[in-house]
Amino acid sequence: MRHLRIGLTGGLGSGKSTVAAHLVSRGLTLVDADAIARELTGPSGGAMASIRTLFGDGVIASDGSLQREHMRALAFGDASARRRLESVLHPIIGVEAQARAAAAPGAVVFDVPLLAESEHWRDRVDRVLVIDCTEATQIARVQSRSQWTEDAARAVIASQAIRSARRAVADAWIFNDGIDLTQLSREVDAILANWQPRPR
């Protein structure tokens, strides 16, 4: 029998990475779509030749990696540029994520920021867990941990699925706003206990 596969998603600053780390502490293997994307766009990364062809040398850093700040501004300022970038990255990410999951010894959590926007991810997992919070909380969290401006955070949030669309694809969702880490962990554990197969 195939081990449980959970798709984990949430908007920018929702606390999704915190939940992913907690699931790893419970024995699940993490397959992180963003981490795979960073590998693909690092020096000599598997997506860099295609990205150079599509966008030119202006998005390439001196070490051959993606110039992330420039690409972020381009992608979130131009929807067609973002779609072209995704057309390169998403198929490769999907293949690599599936390969890593197949090699995992047990249950897997896929951390996928754009799961709700994808035509494919819902079919690749058994359950979807959405981490939700208000936009004001998203912006406050992003600004507290990074040098992003409020406008930059809002641009990314606007490019992602709206909260109701993410919740619509969820088998369970947690409102991670106004609760502490202990309560968040309890809620995750309760959902995981409900989803994992019972011993016979």
Same domain, 99 and 110: no
> Which residue type sits at 14?
S
Per-residue tokens: 22 = 């907690």
77-117 confidence digits (pLDDT tens): 888 988 899 899 999 999 999 999 999 999 999 999 989 98
| Residue of 102, 73, 76, 48 whose CA lies nearest to 159 | 76
Same domain, 5 and 22: yes
28-59 confidence digits (pLDDT tens): 999 999 999 999 999 989 999 999 999 999 89
144-161 confidence digits (pLDDT tens): 888 888 988 898 898 889
Residue 176 within any structural domain of the chain: yes
Residue 127 within any structural domain of the chain: yes
Same domain, 181 and 131: yes
Same domain, 53 and 98: yes
- Decide which of 105, 132, 158 is a domain's last residue: 105
Distance, in Å, from the CA atom of 166 to the CA atom of 161, rounded to the nearest integer, reads 6
10-20 confidence digits (pLDDT tens): 999 999 999 99
Same domain, 52 and 144: no
Residue 200 within any structural domain of the chain: no
pTM: 0.89
Q: Based on the structure, what is the number of domains in the chain?
A: 2
Same domain, 87 and 167: no
* Structural domain range at position 76: 35-105
Query: What are the backbone dihedrals phi and psi of residue 60, each rounded to the nearest 5 degrees, phi first?
Result: -105, 125
| Residue of 117, 63, 42, 111 whose CA lies nearest to 86 | 117
Same domain, 78 and 166: no
Distance, in Å, from the CA atom of 39 to the CA atom of 75, rounded to the nearest integer, reads 19
Distance, in Å, from the CA atom of 8 to the CA atom of 130, rounded to the nearest integer, reads 6
pLDDT of residue 1: 55
Instruction: Decide which of 198 and 154 is more confident.
Output: 154
Residue position matching structure tokens 């955070």: 153
